[in-house]
């Protein structure tokens, strides 16, 4: 059985998040088997695979840096809502939802700040979502990551004025 380019990329990105001592997901990933309160490789791959197409000209390090900045901003927003953000983000439905919102968030960062995908820039575009989100929705996210990501995306929208 051979590994596709996409599978190799997902493996490399997962391994960076799992092994890098500065990773925002350090200690929260489970590379081999499903583990309670950890993100499995299967969940990670299912969440990140739809994003591969937006990273066509990026190498593994650039993908890791952009996603790492995003996760730092996510943790920052969650820390204002709960004392245990790790418990929220390691829920498979929430993790997949958060990753589904990444494309919209990255687009807004690019529109506002150019290609500067920093934690501060992600925090700024995610701020409306974290100001409006109901913590109960994150503690009991339901069974559909698409429903939750739609809810989160709608919270991210700001009123447009000229």
Query: For the chain, how many structural domains are there in total?
Result: 1
Residue 134 lies in a domain: yes
Residue 62 lies in a domain: yes
Residue 51 tokens, joined: 């994003």
Residue 161 lies in a domain: no
d(CA 78, CA 82): 6
Per-residue pLDDT band at 161 (split at 50, 70, 90)? low
pLDDT tens for each residue of 87-98: 999 999 999 999
Burial letters 132-151, b for 16+ CB under 10 A, else e = ebeeeebeebeeebeebbeb
Structural domain harbouring 66: 5-156
How many other CB atoms are there within 10 angstroms of residue 103's CB atom? Answer: 14
Residue 162 lies in a domain: no
Residue 136 lies in a domain: yes
Q: Which of 14-23, 33-42, 117-126 has the lowest mean pLDDT?
A: 33-42
Residue 27 lies in a domain: yes
Residue 40 lies in a domain: yes
Residue 16 lies in a domain: yes
d(CA 148, CA 155): 11
Query: Has residue 160 got a pLDDT over 60?
Result: no
d(CA 12, CA 17): 9
pTM of structure: 0.91
């Amino acid at each position: 059985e051979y590994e596709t380019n996409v599978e190799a990329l997902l493996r490399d990105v997962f391994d960076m998040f799992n092994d890098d001592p500065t990773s925002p997901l350090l200690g929260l990933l489970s590379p081999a088997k499903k583990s309670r309160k950890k993100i499995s490789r299967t969940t990670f791959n299912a969440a990140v695979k739809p994003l591969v197409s937006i990273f066509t000209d990026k190498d593994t390090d650039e993908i890791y840096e952009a996603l790492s900045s995003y996760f730092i901003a996510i943790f920052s927003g969650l820390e204002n809502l709960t004392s245990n953000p790790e418990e929220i983000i390691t829920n498979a439905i929430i993790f997949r939802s958060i990753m589904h919102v990444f494309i919209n968030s990255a687009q807004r960062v690019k529109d506002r700040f150019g290609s500067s995908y920093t934690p501060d820039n992600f925090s700024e575009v995610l701020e409306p979502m974290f100001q409006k989100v109901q913590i109960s929705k994150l503690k009991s996210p339901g069974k559909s990551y698409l429903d939750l990501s739609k809810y989160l995306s709608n919270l991210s929208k700001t009123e447009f004025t000229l």
